[in-house]
């Protein structure tokens, strides 16, 4: 398991009791969050990725993700900053770009969604990076919360992520669920194919997700959840 996954795993809620952020407030008053639109400057994000993916994971002899895989040009990147410095980032895409369809379409079985939903109603998150000394739940809450707001602003119905198995509990905390069996990537690593139905108010309340307070249109969430459970047996 890489250092990033190991550290974030430690943030996952446990049976010891509710997390203090369960009051719905995205904590960390000294944190700022912003979205970098497609084509915007990612200088600070690239610096953060080099620190996490190259310096930290590379020195540990672990497989290192590429810093720039060409998908950044069509992505929106959520950035969390402290004292003007990027300490966390998360990249999100819808599936309109052909390169995104090639990269993720087969993994997430996008054809099954496309039979009923426009591709802009689907969003995938990738390239999660958090500075090693800033791995606290407040930073993750800001990243995921702002990505969720971005999804709502663009009428996204399903948020997808290929999740390291060690982070299952953390993503479940936000309201994600497995909707397909785990997949084995070409490098031999296994990932969980997880999905968040946006505005699925009953499920977000059941999970006690901090995202539950951001729901705007629960009827849309209910319709998306009904379709999901009818289409994917595991959901």
Each residue's pLDDT tens digit, 76-122 = 999 999 999 999 999 999 999 999 999 999 999 999 999 999 999 99
44, 90 in Cβ contact below 8 A? no
Domain count, the chain: 1
Residue with the larger pLDDT of the pair 235 and 8? 235
Q: Which of 88, 90, 47, 91 is nearest to 73 (CA)?
A: 91
Query: Does residue 17 have a pLDDT over 80?
Result: no
Print the domain residue range for 123.
Answer: 3-231
Pairing of strands 122-130, 76-82: unpaired
152, 218 in Cβ contact below 8 A? no
Q: Which residues contact 233 (CB under 8 A, 6 or more apart)?
A: none
Neighbours of 79 (CB within 10 A): 23
Give the C-alpha separation, 219 to 157, whole Å: 11
Residue 57: pLDDT band (50, 70, 90) is low
> CA separation (Å) from 111 to 4, 7, 57, 70, 106?
32, 35, 34, 23, 8
What pLDDT does residue 56 have? 77
Residue % of the chain over a pLDDT of 90: 75
pLDDT tens-digit series, residues 158-210: 999 999 999 999 999 999 999 999 999 988 899 999 999 999 999 999 999 99
Tell me the three-class secondary structure of 146-180, residue by residue. HHHHHHHHCCCCEEEEEECHHHHHHHHHHCCEECC
The arithmetic mean of pLDDT across residues 24-29, rounded, is: 55
Query: Does residue 45 have a pLDDT over 70?
Result: yes
pLDDT tens-digit series, residues 143-153: 999 999 999 99
Pairing of strands 158-163, 122-130: parallel
Give the C-alpha separation, 31 to 156, whole Å: 26
CATH of the domain at 150: 3.40.630.30
């Amino acid at each position: 398991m890489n250092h990033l996954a190991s550290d974030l795993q430690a943030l996952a809620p446990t049976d010891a009791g509710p997390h203090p952020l369960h009051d719905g407030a995205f904590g960390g008053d000294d944190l700022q969050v912003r979205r970098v639109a497609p084509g915007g400057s990612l200088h600070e994000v690239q610096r953060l990725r080099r620190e996490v993916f190259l310096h930290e994971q590379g020195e540990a002899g672990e497989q290192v993700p590429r810093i720039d895989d060409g998908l950044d040009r069509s992505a929106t990147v959520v950035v969390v900053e402290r004292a003007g410095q990027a300490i966390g980032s998360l990249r999100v895409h819808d599936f309109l770009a052909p390169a995104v369809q090639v990269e993720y379409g087969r993994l997430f079985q996008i054809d099954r969604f496309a039979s009923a939903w426009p591709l802009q109603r689907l969003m995938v998150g990738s390239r999660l990076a958090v500075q090693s000394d800033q791995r606290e739940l407040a930073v993750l809450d800001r990243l995921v919360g702002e990505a969720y707001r971005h999804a709502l602003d663009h009428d996204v119905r399903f948020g997808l992520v290929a999740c390291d198995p060690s982070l299952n509990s953390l993503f479940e905390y936000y309201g994600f669920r497995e909707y397909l069996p785990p997949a084995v990537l070409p490098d031999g690593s296994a990932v969980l194919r997880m999905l968040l139905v946006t505005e699925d108010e009953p499920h977000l309340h059941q999970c006690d997700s901090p995202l539950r307070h951001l729901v705007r249109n629960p009827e849309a969430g209910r319709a998306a959840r009904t379709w999901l459970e009818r289409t994917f047996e595991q959901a």
